[in-house]
Every structure is written in structure tokens, then in C-alpha cells.
Structure 1
């Protein structure tokens, strides 16, 4: 009993420290975003002396934030959409069909998660350059190039996770549907996908978050017309000034789509992650 009580006390202390570790930076961001710039340049004050919402208004005129928002939405939503479609088809094939090279393909998909993303940056840049030289198609600096790039690091995780989720669905459900005259694709769409909705939502949320906040690939493979939010935040800092209050306000605004989406699908997200991880 004493050991259990001590464990609970230790657990609560650790959880409290971890919560503070996360909450304090968030408080600094939010509190800085409602301060005048003159109050930000000095020593940080935990309780703002004055309160203003001007930074949330000025962020749209200081830099073309709306344009960056549009670019991020186009790239993140498109990458998420196509990643989910390809992942569903690939994961279903791995979990249900027998084909030559199935095990090797699964291992290759899993092995891609072992390497840091920066390893793929130069090869992708060279591939896009070669495609431009041979075909004239400009992928670097285009929406299509960013979408394909973001899919390269969201797809492996999505395929692997959905493979485990589909494997947990009884195959008898599909067999019963096919006995009634539904084909393989019909069974997937009408039977498997509704049951696998939590897993698909979890994959979609992961893919969107990964594409929404990506910086490394976007910094090399985008240009001024396709610059995303993660890169646009740097524009609040010039060679002479840094608009810290606007930068923090923009950070809050940029985080809202992900936060709202996470709250709306939290139940499905937890269920999908749990089911996929078990298998």
C-alpha cells in the first residue's frame, strides 16, 4: 500500500512537471501575442502590463499571411487526400492479398522510417532538376512538387498503420459481402472503410499535421509564390527588427486549424492509433 501511494505521488509530480514543461512555452507565446511591441523588447514579464489585440490584426498586413495560409491549405489538404487514398489501397492489398514480393515491399515501407528526412532532400532536389531538364515540367517551386514531396514521408507511416488496422478487421465481413455479389472493391468501400474510419481519420490527421508544419523540404523546394506558413513566419523578422508580438500572434493563428481539427476528431484519433499500434 505504501509503495502504491509513493508511486502515485511520484507519478503526479512527474506529470505535473511535464505539463508545466509544455504549458509554460505556450503561455509565453500567447501572452507575448497580446503585448505591444515596446513591452516585448525588454525582460519578459509574466503578467502583461498592457493588453492589445493589434498584433492579431497587423499580422495580415505586415506579411502576406493570407497567401501563405492558402498555400499551406492547398499543399497540406492535397497531400493528405492523396496519401490516404494510396495508403488505403496499399494497406488493404498487403493485409488481404497474396502477391509476389509482398514481404519485401512491407519491409521496404517500414525501413524508410529508419532514416532522417534530410537524407532525401538532396536526392529529391536532383530528381526534380532532372525531370525539369528532360521533360520541362517544373516541380521545384510548384504545388505539385510540394505535394509529392510531403507524401514521401507521410505515406510509409500511413501504409504501415492502416495495414495493422485492416488486419484487425474480420475477413468474414468481406467474404459475406462478396457472397452477396459485391466485388473486392465494393467490399472495401462498403464494408471495410466504414469499419476502418477511426484508423483512416488517425492517418489523415497525422498526414495533415506533418504537411502543415513541414519546414525542411519546403525551404528548398518552394518559392515566393508557393511559400507555406512554416516559412512565412520568418518574414516577421528583418535585418533590423523582429516583430515578436506579431510573430507569436501568427504562431497562434497558424496552430488553430490543427488544434481545432484535433479536438473534433480526438475520439476517432485515439481509437485509430490504439487499434493500429496493437497489430
Structure 2
């Protein structure tokens, strides 16, 4: 007798109580995350008198003067330049080193390879505050011995950010490169391509989502970091996050300008995330399904 075709069972729909519970939870979560942003936006377009008076959900008067006055009240342009230099430099260096290190770990077998992968991953177990004092003392000793100031300069801050962005970048790229077929490397080797040429012409284009994910992570980490930047910078190398924090702690604060500056500071990260989000999803989920 011929085999009977298998009967496909339709998946049972979840109960309505579950759907309504999920909707309510998602609504509360969205409100919890968007209400602070709404307050920030509305406060940035209010006169200072309205901000300091009783709170209103809808502004009675709208003004754009905080977006103009904030550039003279706070040296925002100087802080912006410092943050851009530090974040861009830390991102570029992390990506370049991570690409070469991840390619070596993913494609070559050498003694201590697994130990290296475990060590790189284990560095993420410790909070960054544990490295603050040792790094500061190391930079001070280097400055005393060589005359190269690192404890309060942008160069020292860039090196500091590399200590906790680079291990995660290497670990993430190793997982992504493992998902790229090795047959591509072998085909390039048959055509006479060397390891460096294979990496730059074959592997790097194929690993573009993973590299973009690493770049966005490094930039976001360096752009909004406060703890290390508050200790390892001075007036000439102060970044945006530290500058705004210091201004908000003063006695005479224009809160509408603080809100406007906070929105302007977040624009580069938000725009970059929106433009590159499809690469982020591909880079973070690579290697999860074999």
C-alpha cells in the first residue's frame, strides 16, 4: 500500500490573554524608553523660565535659541572635535588590528590558539573600573620616563579605549570569519594569491557586515564613555560626555541648552546606527547557525 502523505498540523494560535499581555508589556516598555526622549526634546525648545517652572507635557512657547546659545555657553565645538578624534582613531585602530588578529586565529593553527581565544573573551568578564588606576599609573610612569604625556591627552585616551574595545572586536570577528568558507581562501591560493592579498581582496569584502558591526561598537563605546575620560583628560582634551557632565554639575545651568546639546551629541550615533543597522544584524547573528 502506498504511504499516506504526512498531515501537516497547523500551529496552534496563542491564547488571547497572552497576546494582550504581550501588547501591554510592549506598550509599557515603549513608553518607558520614549518618555525621557520626549521630555528632552520638549525641554530643548522651551525658554529657560518654562523649564525651571512647573512641568508641562506640551510647551506653551517654542524657541530654538537653546540650539544657538549652547555653542557659546559651553565650548561644545572643542569637545565635539575631541570626541570625534578620539572615537574615530580608536575605531580605526581597533578594526585594523582586529581584522588581522581574527584572520590569523580563524585560519591558522598554532600553539596557544585556544588559550588566546579564551583569554580574549575572559577580558570581558571584568568591569572597566578595575583597569582605571593601573592604566593611569602606567601612563604617568611612561610620561616620567620618556616625556610623552599620556595620562591627560587624547593619545592616552585612545590607547585606553583600545584595551576594552579590541578584545571584543577580535572575538566577534573570529566568529564571523569562521562562518566564511575556507574554500574561498583555497581558490585564491590556487590562483596565486598570497595570505595578505587573500585577506584584503577576498575575506575583508565577505566579512563587511562583521567589520561594520565592530566599527559601530567601537565608535559608540568611545563616543559616550565617561569614566576613563573624566580621569584621563584635562581642559584641552575633554570629550563631549565629560564636558556636558561637568557643566550640568555647576551652579548656574541652562537646562534647555543642556537638553539641546545632549540631542546634538547623540545625532552621530543615532544616524550611524540607522544607516548601518542591517549590517549590524548580519554581523551579530553570523555563526549562530551552521
Calculate the TM-score normalised by the size of structure 1.
0.97
- Of residues 179, 182, 185, the one that matches 2:190 is 179
- Please list every run of 5 or more consecutive structure 2 residues that lacks an aligned counterpart in the other structure: 1-11
State the partner residue of 1:35.
Answer: 46
Q: Is 1:131 the equivalent of 2:134?
A: no
Quick check: 6-15 or 265-274, which moved more?
6-15
Quick check: 55-64 or 232-241, which moved more?
232-241
- Do the aligned partners of residues 64 and 276 (structure 1) sit closer, same or farther apart at CA in structure 2, a change above 3 Å counting? farther
Q: Is 1:193 the equivalent of 2:204?
A: yes
Q: How far does residue 236 in structure 1 lie from its aligned partner after superposition?
A: 3.3
- Please list every run of 5 or more consecutive structure 1 residues that lacks an aligned counterpart in the other structure: none
SS of equivalent residue, structure 1 residue 225: coil
- Do the aligned partners of residues 250 and 278 (structure 1) sit closer, same or farther apart at CA in structure 2, a change above 3 Å counting? farther
SS of equivalent residue, structure 2 residue 253: coil
Q: Is 1:150 the equivalent of 2:161?
A: yes
State the partner residue of 1:204.
Answer: 215
Preserved contact between residue 161 and residue 276 of structure 1 (Cα < 8 Å) = no
Q: Is 1:74 the equivalent of 2:85?
A: yes
User: Deviations 1:36-84 (Å, cap 9, x if unpaired)?
Assistant: 0000112221111110000000110001100000000000000000000
For residues 192 and 251 of structure 2, the distance between their equivalents in structure 1, rounded to whole angstroms, comes to 70
Give aligned pairs, total: 279
SS of equivalent residue, structure 2 residue 230: helix
Preserved contact between residue 214 and residue 230 of structure 1 (Cα < 8 Å) = yes
State the partner residue of 1:249.
Answer: 260
Preserved contact between residue 62 and residue 236 of structure 1 (Cα < 8 Å) = no
Preserved contact between residue 178 and residue 287 of structure 2 (Cα < 8 Å) = no
- Do the aligned partners of residues 133 and 278 (structure 1) sit closer, same or farther apart at CA in structure 2, a change above 3 Å counting? farther
For residues 154 and 277 of structure 1, the distance between their equivalents in structure 2, rounded to whole angstroms, comes to 22
For residues 30 and 252 of structure 1, the distance between their equivalents in structure 2, rounded to whole angstroms, comes to 8
User: Deviations 1:218-269 (Å, cap 9, x if unpaired)?
Assistant: 0001111000000111343364322110000000000000011111111111
Decide which structure has the larger Cα Rg and report it: 2
Quick check: 226-235 or 253-262, which moved more?
226-235
The CA RMSD measured in Å over matched residues stands at: 1.4
For residues 127 and 99 of structure 1, the distance between their equivalents in structure 2, rounded to whole angstroms, comes to 31
Q: How far does residue 142 in structure 1 lie from its aligned partner after superposition?
A: 1.4
- Do the aligned partners of residues 37 and 103 (structure 1) sit closer, same or farther apart at CA in structure 2, a change above 3 Å counting? same
